[in-house]
Amino acid sequence: MKRKLQNLWLPALMAVLLVPAVCLGQSGDNDGCSNATLTGDYTFTISGQVLPPGAPPIQRDGVAMTRFDGKGGLTQVDFIMGNGVPTPGPSDPLTGFHTGESGNYVIFPDCTGKAEIRFPAPPGSTGAVIDLMLVLSNHGRTIHTIVSRLVPPGSANAVPVSIHSDAEKLGGVDD
């Protein structure tokens, strides 16, 4: 019996000593991201719902192209449908895409991040603001987002949402 216990303690000790090392190695898998990881144009597909209190959900589907400057600034154009109808906003007369959208972002070393996008204000009102939580993958060539806060135009209060998007970097492999 004593010999059986002696044969078990060494593997158990090794497991206890190696688990922290494995976990530590896992936590560093994505280390090295920064604002500079996002540079250039990214194409997004957007889907989800705005959930206004006391009113039916509003389906949102759309596409966007966002230019990240590598320093924490962004500009964006988008085309969004709300329950099958294009959403209002200043648009390019040629493309029909909304224009004048800008914001900022921060990317953390573990390749997670946050962004805020500000939309132009309608006449006599305030513009919408969207806050995003995001994760980079594929060495910064892919972005996955979820809207964490949406303040509609003309309001100071956020409304509940369930909206997400995925993006790929536009351009060739070496961009």
Q: What is the pLDDT of residues 91-119, one digit of tens each?
A: 999 999 999 999 999 999 999 999 999 99
| Class of residue 49 by CB neighbours under 10 A (exposed 0-12, middle 13-18, buried 19+) | middle
> Global pTM?
0.80
**Cα separation, 2 vs 71, whole angstroms:** 64
Joined together, the tokens standing for residue 157 give: 């209060």
Range with the poorest average pLDDT among 6-10, 127-131, 148-152, 157-161: 6-10
Domain spans of the chain, in order of start: 35-169
Residue 110, phi then psi, degrees to nearest 5: -85, 10
| CATH architecture classification, 35-169 | Beta Barrel (2.40)
